[in-house]
Amino acid sequence: MVLRLIKRGTQLSIIDRSAQDEDSGVYEALFHDMHDVVKGTSFIIQCSKLNRNYDKIGPNAVLEISYVEGPSIYKFTGRIAGKTYTDMLIIEQLSEIEELNRRIYQRDEIRVEVKIFGIPEGEINSEKFVIPSLKPTLSDVSFDVSAGGMCIITNAALKSEHDPYYIMEFSLSEKDQFLLPAKIVRRSNHPRTKIGRHDYGFQFIFDNLPNEKSRLTKAILSKKLSFYSR
């Protein structure tokens, strides 16, 4: 893949690893057009948040850039090279564009420690949650995690007076910590593997937490890319 083949309007995920905190270092941008058509190594993006941080980031910060097209994820590094007269940002490509197959990621098993607490149905659509003071209903390790939910295969039976509603506490990294409401949408005593007797499928509830879904999506992508680069 080369820059010239990226379609105008393609959504780009940009991560500045030098940022002090997660929120300031993650950006969503749109590919606008090529900047240097002859050399084909610089392009223009639209990103209001990155634009606001332009002076703080500086021209030497290395940015991890990725985007999705069809069954593949493409990633490469770049840096901010300047601005256009219309105040859009110019990005210089620093590395080759690497293609990763998304189907491989869909088979990846993301294992994270998770604590699960029962929660009354009337509280499931709150806009803010705190870690319950009571002992978790279940503490175990996930079988997989996606932007939509989580699967847990365990030998422990999950029982709560508030079933099927729960709060799930887990972290994908030191910066990516989550406390999300969820509903059990699948349970089985015949799991897909020999890991445990019980197979639980949870669906996250983002009705009043739209920013958390976006944050989780970025965190999962970042974790999967880190797996690949090891």
Walk me through the domains of the chain, giving residue ranges and CATH numbers: 3-102 (2.30.110.70), 108-228 (2.40.10.220)
Q: What integer pLDDT is reported at residue 107 of this predicted model?
A: 39
One-letter identity of residue 50: L
The string of pLDDT tens digits covering residues 48-70 is 989 888 888 877 788 989 887 76
Contact 130, 165 (CB under 8 A): no
What integer is the mean pLDDT of 121-146? Answer: 89
Q: Return phi, psi of residue 28, to 5°.
A: -115, 125
pLDDT digits (tens, 9 = 90+) for 156-167: 889 899 999 999
Residue 77 confidence (pLDDT) above 90: yes
State pTM to two decimals: 0.54
The runs of H, that is alpha helices, within the chain are 22-25, 48-52, 54-57, 102-107, 210-228
CA distances to 53, 87, 101, 155, 228 from 215, rounded to whole Å, are: 19, 27, 22, 31, 20
- How do residues 202-223 score in pLDDT, each as one tens digit? 999 998 888 888 888 888 887 7
d(CA 139, CA 156): 9
3-state secondary structure of 99: strand
Under 8 Å between Cβ of 184 and 163:
yes
